[in-house]
Chain A
Amino acid sequence: KQEVTQIPAALSVPEGENLVLNCSFTDSAIYNLQWFRQDPGKGLTSLLLIQSSQREQTSGRLNASLDKSSGRSTLYIAASQPGDSATYLCAVTTSGGYNKLIFGAGTRLAVHP
């Protein structure tokens, strides 16, 4: 059974720091991995989608890497800003008959001025 773990559960940093959020999964047979952002009481916003054949994806100050063989992904946030404060969720799409996402519990990030 696929399980997704995110470390750390919470992180508080001063503005301007470069951050690394970690995601690990137990079954390397995935189709893709997606990082989402969730603001309090809101839905999820997709940040980056990495296909299983890819090693990384970049969008602005965000960079996500994928190492399928070791079951790991990292989300790198450069030059963090207070507006980056949110919960970041990692999810993998499993192999099988349909496009099922399995989520980690998330990393709650607070960036203070």
Chain B
Amino acid sequence: DGGITQSPKYLFRKEGQNVTLSCEQNLNHDAMYWYRQDPGQGLRLIYYSQIVNDFQKGDIAEGYSVSREKKESFPLTVTSAQKNPTAFYLCASSPQGVRGYTFGSGTRLTVV
């Protein structure tokens, strides 16, 4: 079955540590996205990528970095510069053009 795989499901980060969240899709979608979800709030866009080797900042990119070396993969690094990283992170993809999204199952990141 085609879909999006996010790993790990749970991740714990120590203060000052960088961590990387994985997102892989086999839907042959061109565009990929990272969203952050905090309790009681809607999803907020961190980064997005429309094609390989190109990505753009979303609304809350500070403290995060991404890469898009392969069409299937869009990893997100949460750096030590992100002061409040505890949240639920969702990866999504969509075909080119204005069409519906497909979401992964999410990674819950907690700072310990």
A residues neighboring B (CB under 8 Å): 4, 31-32, 34, 36, 41-46, 49, 89, 91, 93, 98-106
Contact = CB atoms under 8 A, between A and B. Distances in A.
Nearest to A52: B98
Contact of A105 (B42, B99, B102): B42
Q: Closest 10 A-B residue pairs measured CB to CB?
A: A103-B42, A44-B103, A43-B105, A31-B98, A43-B103, A49-B100, A103-B43, A105-B42, A43-B106, A43-B104
B108 A104 contact: no
Interface string B70-99: 000000000000000000101010100111
Given A4-B42, A103-B42, A104-B42, A93 B106 contact: no
B48 A98 contact: yes
A34 B6 CA distance: 22
Interface extent on B, as a size class? 20 to 34
A106 B40 CA distance: 8
Contact of B90 (A31, A34, A43): A43
A34 B40 contact: no
Nearest to A93: B98
29 contacts: A31-B98, A32-B98, A32-B99, A32-B100, A43-B6, A43-B90, A43-B105, A43-B106, A44-B90, A45-B103, A46-B100, A46-B101, A46-B102, A46-B103, A49-B100, A89-B42, A91-B43, A98-B56, A99-B94, A99-B98, A99-B101, A100-B45, A100-B58, A101-B43, A101-B45, A101-B101, A103-B43, A105-B40, A105-B41
